[in-house]
Amino acid sequence: EPEVTQTPSHQVTQMGQEVILRCVPISNHLYFYWYRQILGQKVEFLVSFYNNEISEKSEIFDDQFSVERPDGSNFTLKIRSTKLEDSAMYFCASSRRLGPVEQFFGPGTRLTVL
Amino acid sequence: AQKITQTQPGMFVQEKEAVTLDCTYDTSDQSYGLFWYKQPSSGEMIFLIYQGSYDEQNATEGRYSLNFQKARKSANLVISASQLGDSAMYFCAMREGRNNAGNMLTFGGGTRLMVKP
């Protein structure tokens, strides 16, 4: 069964460093998303991406964040200058189409900022 | 106001019994979707079940069913015949239809379910 994959599973970085989190969405899906979950808290929407551009972003997704689909399979989230409060689990998700259809989540990348 | 409310932070259920996890939602949209995800201790988010606002029948997927009461704005998850492997966090989420070009899901705070042997 096709699934969303994410690398790395765990990333440790120093405050102020740039990180890139990588995702490979399900191959025939057209919509891609990033969510984050701070430890013990609810899952929060960051950004959605379609047709090589951002469809929507939340207040969390400020200028420190960017997303890119560098080729036909990868979808990346970059944090330019990490802060302690960026420590969280970051989930990539994808869906076949727009609308109330299921979004399939990857296993997540746990980002720890020291 | 919270868009998705899960009032049970933690619940216990005896193995093989049924359990209901509560979820209420708040939206003024006519078209929306409700989702349940399971998050085991390993951290991944597993899609369980979906209910559309226009669906007349309650959604079912194996041992999972969704008790959808539109007038009350509730979408409770029912797990029948609980298994030890059902122990996890369960999140209710909503996708609203209006002004949602980005297909954003809004999540509740979750319910931790613990199945007792």
Is there a contact between A100 and B44 if contact means CB atoms under 8 Å apart?
A: no
- Section B55-66 average pLDDT: 95
Is there a contact between B47 and A104 if contact means CB atoms under 8 Å apart?
A: yes
SS (H, E, C) B10-47: EEEEECCCCEEECCEECCCCCCEEEEEEEECCCCCCEE
A 10 A CB-CB count for A113 gives 19
**What pLDDT band is residue A54 in, cutting at 50, 70 and 90?**
very high
Yes or no: say if B18 and B10 are a contact pair by the CB < 8 Å rule.
Answer: no
Write the pLDDT tens digit of every residue in B17-34: 999 999 999 998 888 899
* Nearest residue, CB atoms, B104 vs list A45, A108, A110: A45
Is A40 in CB contact (< 8 Å) with chain B?
no
The whole-angstrom separation of Cα A66 and Cα B116 is: 44
- Section B46-64 average pLDDT: 93
